[in-house]
Amino acid sequence: MTTDHPHRTHPPVSKPFGRLPDGTEVRRWFLENGGTRLSVLTYGGIVQSLETPDRHGRYENVSLGFDSLDGYLASDGFLGALIGRYGNRIANGRFTLDGTRHFLSVARGEHTLHGGANGFDRRVWTVHGFTRDGDVGLVLTLTSPDGEMGFPGTLRVRVLYTLTPTGAWRVDYEAVTDRPTVVNLTSHVYWNLAGESSGPVLDHELSLTASRMTPVGTGLIPTGRLAPVAGTPFDFREPTPVGSRIDADSPQLRHAGGYDHNWVLDKGVTAVPGPAATLRDPGSGRVMRISTTEPGIQFYSGNSLDGSPVGSGGRAYRRRDGLCLETQHFPDAANRTAFPSTVLRPGETYRSSTVHFFAVT
């Protein structure tokens, strides 16, 4: 979809989007600010579309998604979704905390992925709109009961999606628990800055402010090492086309069928968002810069997109038609004491923030 219109502010409004098989209504929220347009579903907190202009002022949806609820129900690719309780993988679907072993839902294979078979991406969130000091946004809330998907503690989650007057999209996560638990929240938007129906993203130029990454073994579980990227296909410290080395003869690339790895951000955990990634599409001139408080970012090159179902632009999404940049703590940190901790205890508040800045060149 291509549209042309001047920058304007549109306070959040919602309309029905569909119903789940159990009859629960799903609504779509729409908001606009600073030249960015955002559509969000109450189902999964899904970013259904995000539109930004190219260098000629032409708008395109740059996030992969579906026009109907049925598309999301039929897909297992987490397109656009909020991810929890635990983004990425936990080895063998279990972890030990304070001497107690917890057994988790296993979504794929033998490991827990993105919170389990019915993670936050499959839940209906309570959503309210707001306008404040030039910002427009949404407050999404969810309560995950003790034992859901095997995770201990009742977890109360609050996420803010904010569009700023400059068109940046900010995501602020908060969570509290009544029992010791582990938490790692993230967003699983698939980006294609040329437009969601434009084909592969292999010519997008990516840079990551990371001089190390976490190598993986079977099942894409980290080995525990922090490996330098210098001299490897994982060196994105300078802008590099995504496809330039994606099929290199590398055991790490063979494990994932491309990129599906965590980069260790040089800045570490920070109180305010710091630089993480820059993505640029040379054809349209669109640029997205990501800053985060998180210590890691998962770059996934859409290796498992399989052409089903058809996307919102009328084109089936195929392998590498989009990529994800998921800000996070490291995969399997629940089992790796050397990694930054994902433990949350009663009386503490989990906080994480990521900002996406949009521009053109």
Look at residues 294, 292, 271, 273 and name the one whose alpha carbon lies nearest to residue 340: 294
Q: What are phi and psi of 69, to 5 degrees?
A: -65, -35
What the block records as the tokens of 39 is 């559509």
Distances (CA, A) of 155 to 39, 118, 168: 26, 15, 28
Q: Contact 112/86 with Cβ under 8 angstroms?
A: yes
Helices (H) and strands (E) in the chain, counts: 2, 29
Q: What is the C-alpha separation between 62 and 77, in angstroms, rounded?
A: 17
Look at residues 146, 148, 139, 150 and name the one whose alpha carbon lies nearest to residue 174: 139
For residue 348, indicate whether it is catalytic: no
Burial 339-360 (b: 16+ CB within 10 A, else e): beebbbeeeeebebbbbbbbbb
For residue 188, indicate whether it is catalytic: yes
- How many residues in the chain? 361
Q: Indicate which residue of 32, 111, 114, 188 is catalytic.
A: 188
Q: Indicate which residue of 114, 326, 329, 356 is catalytic.
A: 326
Rg (CA), the chain: 19
The residues annotated as belonging to the active site are 188, 326
